[in-house]
Amino acid sequence: MFVLAATGSAVGLGNIWRFPYITAENGGGAFVLVYLVCILLIGVPILAAELSIGRRARRSPVNALRSLARSDSGGRYWWLFGYLGMGAGLLILSFLSVIAGSAMAYMVRTAGGVFEGVTARGAESIFIGLIGDPERLLAWHTLFMAMTTVIVARGVRLGLEWAAKYLVPVFFLLLLLLVLGGYLFHPEAFWQGVGLLFYPEFSALTANGILVAMGHAFFTLSLGMGVMIIYGSYLPAGTHIGKMSLAVAATDTLAALLAGLAVFPWVLGSGLEMGIGPGLVFQTLPVAFGQTPAGSWFGALFFLLLVIAALTSAISLFEPTVAWLVENKSMGRPRAAAWVGGGAWLAGILTVMSLGPWAFDFQFAGELRVKGMFDILDILTSVIMLPAGGLAVALFAGWVLYRSRTLEALGKDGVRFRLGYLVLRYVTPLSLAAIFVHTIGVI
């Protein structure tokens, strides 16, 4: 069951909302290739490391790092990374909830036929109408956060497992329906979309694109913030962690590619431009849906898909901090969930305000352009905090934990284990370090 829960955490807004536009912006197939390499060399090893740390310690991330450092070869401050992860998780939760809330608003609007025949201008003004109205946005943000808090408060069995069991299959069903819709309504554009995803245009790939691919590999597999450590702590003893990590990464990648195939045909088939950043989902797609007879239905399904995807991810973002509150502050689970939900809700208000009344926009010395709080949080978490947390996990699992214990935790697996272990010890940290040096250069 926790394979499904981990998949639910991994597939989310990152796959449906972020992957298609960063792919279109960074050279299509070439970017996908770099992204796949990042998933294999950085993502999967860290995912396996997080899951096995969790399963060995059976505690929240902060306490897991503390107790395993003590029982293996030492180091005093590893637990600090547990807090870094909790912080990153809460920040991500805060803006994820605002986007998910907007998707809920759009689900209602699309179903009501608001976008039928709408022009690009019209869609833009509808979008600005939503984000420029903090009260409305706040209401949707509140509703989404409340739903998530209730599910988390119900506990691991009745909340997390329940959501994974029902929502993940529904997610894939909806995704397939949308791909099918794209194919039926825009057959030519469908193949253009396939080309965009799989034909590598290396000239469009920049150094910044590689950074984006790496950051996204972390984000999409929910790494670097202890989520997979806490999920690992719920895994039964017999689970083969290596296989499970590969399965989660493969399913997540499949979801991202399918999302590309669900989004590109509608956009390209309506003669619209692809590379326009985050506005893709809230501005371009509604125009595309509005041009097709059954578009309102598919549009509503698409936004429902976004909401479900966000929900199973948001639930997992609560978990490291909820588990920590339960262990360290002896709180009951519902109270812990309310604290986390309340805190992230408050932080989300910053995003709500910066999308409308407090909007700002500036450019760093290099190529980095920042638009409002949302961009700051996105860059801070996926380019800095998550890779830092991931680097710490790779070093911890590769160099601090005893090899024999990790081997035991992963299930003995001869050559494959040794290969994975070598990657975790050398390749993963070195590529992360190189990427960090580059990031500092860009900023």
Sole binder of ligand PFF in the list 22, 126, 164, 225 (CB under 6 A): 225
Q: Residue 251, interface with ligand PFF (CB under 6 A)?
A: no
Q: Give the nearest distance from C-beta 167 to ligand PFF in angstroms.
A: 14
- Segment near ligand PFF (CB under 6 A), from 10-18, 156-164, 352-360, 432-440? 10-18
Sole binder of ligand PFF in the list 94, 220, 270, 431 (CB under 6 A): 220
Cα–Cα dist 224/389, whole Å: 4
Give the residue from 37, 47, 63 showing the smallest Cα distance to 397: 47
Q: Residue 387, interface with ligand PFF (CB under 6 A)?
A: no
Q: Residue 45, interface with ligand PFF (CB under 6 A)?
A: no
Q: What is the largest CA-CA distance in the chain?
A: 64
Query: C-alpha angle 380/321/254, rounded to 5°?
Result: 65
- Residue closer to ligand PFF, measured from CB, 321 or 406: 321
Q: Give the nearest distance from C-beta 226 to ligand PFF in angstroms.
A: 8
Q: Residue 304, interface with ligand PFF (CB under 6 A)?
A: no
Q: Give the nearest distance from C-beta 222 to ligand PFF in angstroms.
A: 3
Can you state the percent helix, strand and coil of the chain, rounding each to 5? 80, 0, 15
- Residues in the interface with ligand PFF (CB under 6 A) total 16
Q: Residue 10, interface with ligand PFF (CB under 6 A)?
A: yes
Cα–Cα dist 319/323, whole Å: 6
- Residue closer to ligand PFF, measured from CB, 60 or 270: 60
- Residue closer to ligand PFF, measured from CB, 29 or 224: 224
The size of the chain, in residues, is: 443
Sole binder of ligand PFF in the list 3, 6, 13, 213 (CB under 6 A): 13
Cα torsion at 36, 38, 39, 42 (round to 10°)?
Answer: 160
Cα–Cα dist 334/358, whole Å: 34
Q: Give the nearest distance from C-beta 217 to ligand PFF in angstroms.
A: 10
Sole binder of ligand PFF in the list 15, 253, 284, 428 (CB under 6 A): 15
Give me 411's structure tokens: 């299930």
Q: Residue 49, interface with ligand PFF (CB under 6 A)?
A: no
**Among residue numbers 122 through 181, which ones bind ligand PFF (CB under 6 A)?**
none
Q: Give the nearest distance from C-beta 227 to ligand PFF in angstroms.
A: 4
Give the residue from 252, 248, 238, 293 showing the smallest Cα distance to 409: 238
Q: Give the nearest distance from C-beta 316 to ligand PFF in angstroms.
A: 5
Sole binder of ligand PFF in the list 69, 227, 249, 385 (CB under 6 A): 227
Cα–Cα dist 208/379, whole Å: 12
**Among residue numbers 310 through 339, which ones bind ligand PFF (CB under 6 A)?**
313, 316-317
- Segment near ligand PFF (CB under 6 A), from 11-19, 37-45, 196-204, 333-341? 11-19
Sole binder of ligand PFF in the list 97, 110, 148, 222 (CB under 6 A): 222
First to last CA, the chain: 41
Yes or no: say if 54 and 230 are a contact pair by the CB < 8 Å rule.
yes
Cα–Cα dist 193/217, whole Å: 21
Yes or no: say if 348 and 98 are a contact pair by the CB < 8 Å rule.
yes
Q: Is the dihedral of CA 274, 302, 247, 83 positive or negative?
A: positive
Q: Give the nearest distance from C-beta 218 to ligand PFF in angstroms.
A: 8
Query: C-alpha angle 114/117/118, rounded to 5°?
Result: 65
* SS3 (DSSP) at 135: helix
Q: Residue 12, interface with ligand PFF (CB under 6 A)?
A: yes
Helix axis angle, 61-71 relative to 44-57, nearest 10°? 80
Sole binder of ligand PFF in the list 8, 27, 29, 89 (CB under 6 A): 89
Q: Give the nearest distance from C-beta 13 to ligand PFF in angstroms.
A: 4
- Residues facing 361 on adjacent strands: 371
Q: Residue 92, interface with ligand PFF (CB under 6 A)?
A: yes
Tokens 């809920």 appear where? 104
Give me 57's structure tokens: 């310690």
Sole binder of ligand PFF in the list 5, 7, 14, 283 (CB under 6 A): 14
Q: Which residues bind ligand PFF (CB under 6 A)?
A: 9-10, 12-15, 89, 92, 219-220, 222, 225, 227, 313, 316-317
